[in-house]
Each structure stands twice: as structure tokens, then as C-alpha cells.
Copies of this chain bind each other. A is one copy, B any other.
Amino acid sequence: MIVEIDPDAATPPYEQLRTQIAALIRTGGLAVGTRLPSIRQLARDLGLAAGTVARAYRELEAEGYLRGRAGQGTVVREIPRLSEAERTARLTDAARAYAAAVRELGIEVEVALTTAQYHLTHPAG
């Protein structure tokens, strides 16, 4: 499993880990049914504390991505589908935040939309 943790990043390690695993599952890099490394194993590999990896797993389990059971390990369960209400709520939050930033910068709507489109269609850029 390919994950990279930057200890100096603004987002804490457990969150980096959570995001990257979720992305891997969404993109098919980790198929449903795949068993993940054990908490302690992954912690060693990444130079993190076990509790940190445990937290990432725990949250991903709460979101529906994973299923972990003692003695058996942790396995990819599904690609969770949020309720429509939940999705629109989160989208609204994100859009509001973007709009607020754009407004504070005094940037025109056209430019803001073009920029958004670019980053939506070019994930790496």
C-alpha cells in the first residue's frame, strides 16, 4: 500500500492517512475485500504510533470504508455512499468556503469558476 506521511504538514498524520486510504479505496487502488496492514505493522512502516493508525482506521470504519475485527485484521468493506442530504450539505459547505475566499481576494466570478474547473479536472495540478 502506497501512502506517504509528511510529519511537517499542516494536516495531522492521522488525517493524512485517513484521506489517502479513502482515496485509494475510491479509485480502486484498494479493492473491496482487500486486507489492510495491521495497525502495528503500518505504524512501524510509517514511523507513527499505533494509536495514530488506529484512529485513522477507526474513522474510516465509522464512514463505512473499513471493517475491523480483533484477531482478523482490517478489511476494505465498501465504497460508502452518503445520503443525498449529507452530500449536498457538505458540498454547500465547501462551495461557501470557496466563495468566501474568492470574495475576500476580490476576484471575479469568471476567473474563480475557470480556476475551479481547472482544479476539478486536473487533480494533480
Chain A residues near B (Cβ < 8 Å): 19, 22-23, 26, 79, 82, 87, 90-107, 109, 111-113, 115-121, 123
Report copies per complex. Answer: 2
Q: How far does the Cβ of A115 sit from chain B's closest Cβ, in whole Å?
A: 5
**A113 and B105: CB pair below 8 A?**
no
**B115 and A95: CB pair below 8 A?**
yes
Contact flag A97-B98 (CB < 8 Å), given A104-B22, A106-B26, A112-B120? yes
**B107 and A101: CB pair below 8 A?**
no
Give me 30 A-to-B residue pairs in the complex whose CB atoms sit less than 8 angstroms apart, sorted by A's number.
A22-B104, A23-B103, A26-B103, A82-B105, A87-B105, A90-B101, A90-B105, A91-B105, A91-B107, A91-B115, A92-B115, A92-B119, A94-B97, A94-B98, A94-B102, A95-B112, A95-B115, A95-B116, A95-B119, A96-B119, A97-B97, A98-B116, A98-B120, A102-B120, A103-B123, A109-B120, A109-B121, A112-B116, A113-B117, A116-B116
